[in-house]
């Protein structure tokens, strides 16, 4: 289940937690029902029951949800999901237990936003609301209806001032700019800026925001060393003709330093847990950013009604975003597909680092089981989660190299401690290429 699945589930399922009813609109029928007619002549589809957290809703239900007529219901779902996490576990699945790690990580939002997705969608909505150069959604075309409603909902959810009682509100009189607030958080956690400036094609104007003095400026250097050690361990495990020289203690030590670095920005020590997550620094900024980028990424993850309305159909998410960017006059990041491919696995890796998983040494070295899980003998000893962890590691290694130009697999020539880039229309800065 991803963010969209969780929002559907929490909005449309009774008693996700004790005393939490289905979210309904004051004016129109619920988005899904038990199959009865909610409005005359408009039977709503029955929401399928998910049996475990690895299942997902079909595109039909996901698209119907993000195009629901009342954005107030969608906003309530976003707020309710926050409470599902911090006051879990939820009744149907073994999820969100107090000692679990939070399900999302800020790095996901950073990598997705680095594609320029948010600026492109903001410009799209701006142009659609002010003129007709993008076309007019036909009132007689059901697909166009969904595209129109997605534009309307996205503006209401992410490009309007939220109420003071909204728990994902990260802007106000003291923080008036949402993108500036997100950039501030990215810089504090990862020491990285986004790879572009103001949303103007060909502009070299840096984006103005507050760069905190307390920031993890060594994150890139340490994380690249960490990836390099993991890669070398993987290569050593495949080479059975010589003794395995992998320094697992060095990997654990670097994971410890990364955990301490990230947790310091959260104002906490030890391992991250849901029981104290709501009291940690930057938690709501993290949640708000991940929800926003997940919402926008979903609409370009396939040839959705919005993509089709704009005539921007393509084979991949990155190509769809590039096509939309050309239409609205803002170029997407040239390494967008690598950023997209890396976002989810890197979020899982950093979440495991903060949870202390990489430091587990009993009854066996967890990371050794992971690295050796692709070998004949290691595969028998590794559990399914450890095998998936290796896939995530290899995915990040490969796409980090593509995104930054740094040679993780042969690092001695070019690990420098920062990522120098030539982003779209801005000066060189710390970020991702």
Same domain, 356 and 398: yes
Quote the CA–CA distance of 293 and 301 in Å, as a whole number.
12
For residue 83, being part of any structural domain is answered with no
Same domain, 288 and 207: yes
Same domain, 201 and 287: yes
Backbone φ, ψ for residue 304 (5° rounding): -70, 170
Same domain, 134 and 183: yes
Same domain, 246 and 366: yes
What's residue 431's pLDDT?
59
For residue 357, being part of any structural domain is answered with yes
97 close to 303: Cβ distance less than 8 angstroms? no
DSSP structure class, residue 213 = S
DSSP structure class, residue 47 = P
What the block records as the tokens of 199 is: 């949303």
For residue 107, being part of any structural domain is answered with no
pLDDT by residue for the chain (433 residues), tens only, comes to: 999 999 999 998 888 888 888 888 888 877 776 433 344 455 566 778 887 888 899 999 999 999 999 999 999 999 999 999 999 898 788 899 999 999 999 999 999 999 999 999 999 999 999 999 999 999 999 999 999 999 999 999 999 877 655 566 676 777 778 999 999 999 999 999 999 999 876 667 899 999 999 999 999 999 999 999 999 999 999 988 777 889 999 999 999 999 999 999 999 999 999 999 999 999 999 999 999 999 999 999 999 999 999 999 999 999 999 999 999 999 999 999 999 999 999 999 999 999 999 999 988 999 999 999 999 889 999 999 999 999 999 999 999 999 999 999 986 655 454 454 444 433 344 456 6
| Structural domain count of the chain | 3
What the block records as the tokens of 300 is: 């370009």
For residue 27, being part of any structural domain is answered with yes
Give the domain-ending residue among 328, 359, 392. Answer: 328
Quote the CA–CA distance of 290 and 288 in Å, as a whole number.
6
- Torsion angle of the four alpha carbons 388, 396, 115, 258, in this order, in degrees rounded to the nearest 10: 100
Rg of the chain's alpha carbons, rounded to an integer? Answer: 22
For residue 196, being part of any structural domain is answered with yes
Same domain, 121 and 257: no
What's residue 77's pLDDT?
94
What is the span of the domain harbouring residue 401? 219-273+336-413
Give the domain-ending residue among 292, 308, 328. Answer: 328
Buried b (16+ CB within 10 A) or exposed e, 283-298: bbbbbbbbbbbbbbbb
Same domain, 236 and 311: no
Q: Is the CA virtual torsion 64, 67, 70, 76 positive or negative?
A: positive
What's residue 16's pLDDT?
85
Same domain, 347 and 268: yes
For residue 102, being part of any structural domain is answered with no
Q: Which of 156, 216, 154 is nearest to 184 (CA)?
A: 216
Same domain, 254 and 368: yes
Give the domain-ending residue among 293, 328, 363. Answer: 328
pTM for the model stands at: 0.92
Neighbours of 316 (CB within 10 A): 14
For residue 314, being part of any structural domain is answered with yes
Same domain, 296 and 168: yes
* Vertex 167: Cα angle to 164 and 171 (nearest 5): 60
Same domain, 169 and 49: no
What's residue 203's pLDDT?
63
| 3-state SS track over 20-33 | CCCCCCCCCCCCCE
For residue 30, being part of any structural domain is answered with yes
Quote the CA–CA distance of 413 and 407 in Å, as a whole number.
8
Same domain, 124 and 193: yes
71 close to 299: Cβ distance less than 8 angstroms? no
Quote the CA–CA distance of 212 and 224 in Å, as a whole number.
23
Q: Is the CA virtual torsion 164, 263, 216, 225 positive or negative?
A: negative
């Amino acid at each position: 289940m991803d963010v969209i699945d969780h929002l559907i589930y929490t909005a449309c399922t009774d008693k996700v937690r004790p005393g939490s009813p289905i979210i309904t609109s004051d004016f129109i029928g619920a988005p899904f029902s038990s199959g009865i007619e909610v409005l005359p002549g408009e039977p709503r589809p029955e929401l399928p029951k998910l049996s475990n957290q690895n299942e997902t809703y079909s595109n039909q239900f996901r698209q119907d949800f993000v195009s629901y007529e009342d954005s107030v219901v969608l906003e309530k779902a976003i707020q309710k999901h926050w409470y599902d996490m911090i006051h879990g576990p939820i009744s149907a699945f073994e999820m969100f237990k107090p000692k679990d790690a939070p399900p999302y990580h800020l790095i996901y939002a950073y990598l997705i936003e680095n594609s320029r997705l948010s600026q492109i969608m903001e410009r799209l909505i701006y142009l659609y609301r002010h003129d007709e150069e993008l076309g007019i959604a036909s009132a007689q075309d059901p697909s166009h209806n969904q595209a129109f409603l997605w534009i309307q909902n996205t503006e209401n959810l992410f490009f309007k001032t939220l109420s003071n009682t909204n728990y994902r509100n990260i802007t106000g009189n003291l923080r008036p700019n949402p993108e500036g607030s997100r950039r501030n958080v990215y810089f504090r956690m990862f020491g990285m800026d986004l790879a572009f400036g103001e949303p103007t094609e060909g502009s070299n104007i840096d984006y103005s925001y507050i760069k905190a003095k307390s920031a993890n400026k060594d994150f890139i250097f340490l994380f690249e060393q960490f990836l390099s050690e993991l890669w070398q361990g993987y290569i050593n495990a495949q080479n059975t003709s010589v003794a395995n020289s992998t320094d697992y203690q060095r990997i654990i030590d670097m994971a410890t330093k990364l955990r301490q670095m990230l947790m310091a920005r959260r104002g906490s020590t030890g391992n991250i847990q849901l029981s104290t997550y709501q009291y940690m620094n930057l938690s709501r900024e993290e949640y708000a950013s991940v929800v926003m980028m997940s919402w926008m990424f979903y609409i370009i993850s396939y040839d959705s009604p919005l993509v089709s309305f704009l005539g921007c159909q393509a084979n991949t998410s990155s190509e769809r975003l590039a096509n939309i960017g050309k239409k609205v006059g803002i170029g997407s990041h040239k390494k967008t597909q690598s950023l997209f491919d890396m976002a989810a696995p890197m979020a899982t890796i950093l979440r495991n680092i903060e949870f202390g998983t990489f430091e587990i040494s009993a009854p066996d070295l967890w990371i050794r089981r992971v690295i050796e899980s692709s070998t004949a003998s290691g595969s028998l000893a590794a559990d399914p989660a450890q095998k998936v962890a290796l896939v995530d590691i290899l995915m990040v290694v490969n796409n980090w190299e593509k995104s930054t130009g740094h040679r993780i697999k042969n690092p001695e020539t070019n690990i420098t401690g920062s990522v120098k880039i030539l982003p779209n229309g801005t000066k060189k800065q710390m970020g991702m290429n």
